[in-house]
Structure formats: C-alpha cells, structure tokens
A and B are shown apart, each in its own frame.
Chain A
Amino acid sequence: MSKNLIKQGAEARVYTTPFLTRAAIAKERFRKTYRHPLLDKKLTDRRLVQEARCLVKCRNIGVDVPAVYFVDLENRTIYMEYIEGKTVNDLLADGAAITTEESDELAKKIGEALAKMHAAEMIHGDLTTSNLMIRDVNKSLAIIDFGLSFITSCSVEDKAVDLYVLEKTFLSTHPHAHHLFLTILKVYGESYNNAKSVLRKLDEGK
C-alpha cells in the first residue's frame, strides 16, 4: 500500500493513502508504551470512536468535515476523506493576497459552521486556522482534525474555550487579521441562539 506520511503530530501520524478507489487520509494513533497495554487500548479505542462519531454527527447536521470511511480499531487508524484545498492558516499567511470581501466571506463561513457545531453540543477541542480548510472544488469551509473533539452536555465553558483557542491563533499567527476574528464572533452571535452566554464567558476569561 503506498502510504505517504504528511503529518506527524503529538498523538498520531497522518498519511495519504488510496482507499477502495478513493484518495484518503489515514490517521494512525500512536501506541503509548508508558501506559499499561490494556489501558492504552481502552483509551485509544475511546478516542477513535469519539473522533469518528463527532465527524459523522457534524456531517449529519450540515457542518462540512471529512467523511469517515473506515474505523480500524485493531490498528488504531481512522480512514477518512482526503480534502483538496487550502487551510485558512495558509490563506491568511503573510503575503497571501486576500481582499476585504473574501475575508468577510471567510469569517461568515467560519462563524456559521462553529455556531452549528456548538448548537449540536459538539466541541472541536483544537480550533486553529490550520484545522479550517476551504475546499478547492466548491469553496466550502471544512473543519478538520477532530482528534480532541467531544460531545458536551450544554457546557458554555467548553464552547468558550473553543473560541478562545481560535482567538489565540489569530492573535499569535494572524495579528493583522484580528478584524476577521471579530466578524467570526459577530456571525457566531447571530447564528446561534445560545451564543450570548458563550460570548460572555469568553469575555470573562480575558
């Protein structure tokens, strides 16, 4: 099988690989040898299942995410759709030409997607601009890497933390685009019924 390593993270290796006639991503979680093998298996299984469930749930409520193809618990691997596109991180990088109109459009898509996701009680857990992509094919905003995602029980705090992580990314990596983050919050506030309390919590944290 021709697997190509594209990313080595803290929790997993990510490969591109052909999968049953399609181009796919295979995300293989590491064995953690410092843990008891049985405990490691249990925790890793739970993570894999949680990630797959969140991805499928997002897709079902109309949030664009990679489609899940296959969950291989034995090999600690999730196979999912390979998305052709650019990360928001790349789009906002220094020197990248993005017009005000484009950045408004982008912020709107991000704000709406996060609103939908949070309304369904899903927390991404690692919302950075590298985990937001624009698809080449239809310019849809896709959220990727649900490795730290979970379903919450109406926690305002968890949602505020999601937004806080995103704000941190904007402050540190895209300081020139802070207006974009403000637009994201504005759209989020307009699209999600419970946004007020989340935004209040976000303010309190500062």
Chain B
Amino acid sequence: MYSSSLEPFPSHGLVHISLYRNVKNAKELRKRLLSRDTELCYAFIDARVILDKFQVLVASNIAIYNETHNKLITHNVHSEVVYSLSPSTNIRESLKNHGLSDDSTDVIIVKIGDSAETVQAHLARIIKGEERDVKEITSCVDLARVKKCYKIVDGISDREELLKAVIGSIAIKNLS
C-alpha cells in the first residue's frame, strides 16, 4: 500500500492507494457499493484504465479539492475519486468505465483519511484477492481501453506521453 498526504492539502490527512490482483469477489463488492453499504467507504477502481499511480493521485487531489470547496458532484469524496478519473461529466458513465465491474480482477482501492494499518487490515478482510505492491499498477493496464476511454489520438504511443494526455483531460474536465 502507498500512503501519502497531498501537497495542496497538507493538513487533510493521508491518501492510501492499494492494489489487489486476482480479485474473486468484485461482483459482491459492486452489489454492496450499489446498496450504499457504509462499510465500503473506499474508491474502487478498475485497474485496466489506470496507467500509473500518479493518475490516481491526481484524481484523489481533485476529489479532496471538490470536497474542501463544497463542490462535490457525487455523493462523497470516494465516489468523487472515481468520477474525477473519468473524462466524462456523466456520473453513471464515469462509474461504469472507471469503477468496479462484475468482471474486474485487478482493483485499485483509494481511501482518504484513516491510518494505513486500519485501512490495510480492513481491506484484507473485505477483498478476496492478493494485495500487491502498488508499483504493479503499471502492468495491470489495458492500453487500448485507456486510449478509447480518454479519446487519445493514434499518434501517441509512449507511456509517459499517454499519461500526460490522460492527466490533462482529467485536469480540465470540470472547468466551465
């Protein structure tokens, strides 16, 4: 698990990012999320649309920013992380493309607040899968899916360039 505070919000507490692979109970988790199970105060992200941890941090930063300035578009800061990852302003579409699907097997979990120990222990209880080093995020990605989802032009193939284009569309999504 990776835990860090974000520079624009030094007093806001920690953001925790965790990676689980071979997750067997995505369907069950998704059902619980849909019924607003309060035990699941996390952002569950399908790792196939994530290029790099930085992408998750950028979305988490926007979610905290929106919460801090009373600009949340979704129910809470955790759903806001998932929504912020998407280039779409449609909430349902954002959650569908970036959130948990029934067939998700590699899952990134974001928790804003709490201690690392608490989060790690709780995730281990609720997720049926293997926790892996967050560095492995880069090997769970489905590049074709990323390009389609973020409407990346064909010319960009370099991973770092791809990441920059993705971050840009995340950064300007909610500017009116």
Contacts and interface: CB of A to CB of B under 8 A. Distances in A.
Please determine whether chains A and B interact with each other in the same assembly: yes
Interface of A: 1, 17-22, 48-49, 52-53, 55-56, 59-62, 67-74, 79, 81
A70 B61 contact: yes
Contacts of A17: 7
Instruction: Indicate the member of B62, B152, B171 with the most A CB atoms within 10 Å.
Output: B171
Given A1-B7, A60-B153, A68 B54 contact: no
B53 to A, nearest CB: 7
A56 B170 CA distance: 10
Contacts of A69: 58, 167, 171
B54 A72 contact: no
Given A53-B172, A73-B175, A74-B65, 7 more contacts: A1-B10, A17-B7, A20-B57, A20-B58, A21-B57, A70-B61, A79-B8
B69 interface: yes
Contacts of B153: 60-62
Interface of B: 4, 6-8, 10, 53-54, 57-58, 61-62, 65, 69, 152-153, 155-156, 164-165, 167-169, 171-172, 175-176
B137 to A, nearest CB: 13
B7 A68 contact: no
A20 B153 CA distance: 26
Contact of A56 (B10, B61, B171): B171
B8 A72 contact: yes
A142 to B, nearest CB: 11
B61 A20 contact: yes
Contacts of B176: 49
B175 A52 contact: yes
A19 B171 CA distance: 14
A60 B150 CA distance: 11
Given A21-B54, A53-B175, A70 B62 contact: yes
A2 to B, nearest CB: 9
A19 B7 CA distance: 6
A56 B58 contact: no
B110 to A, nearest CB: 13
Contacts of B10: 1
Contact of B171 (A1, A62, A71): A71
Contacts of A56: 168-169, 171-172
Contacts of A52: 171-172, 175
B53 A21 contact: yes
Instruction: Indicate the member of B6, B8, B152, B155 with the most A CB atoms within 10 Å.
Output: B8
A60 B62 contact: no
B66 to A, nearest CB: 11
B54 A49 contact: no
Instruction: Indicate the member of A69, A73, A79 with the most B CB atoms within 10 Å.
Output: A69
Given A59-B165, A70-B62, A20 B6 contact: yes
Those 9 A-B pairs whose CB atoms lie nearest each other, nearest first:
A67-B164, A56-B168, A20-B57, A49-B175, A68-B171, A68-B168, A1-B7, A52-B172, A56-B172
Nearest to A49: B175
A81 B164 contact: yes
B108 to A, nearest CB: 15
Contacts of B169: 56
B58 A55 contact: no
A26 B169 CA distance: 18
Contacts of A22: 54
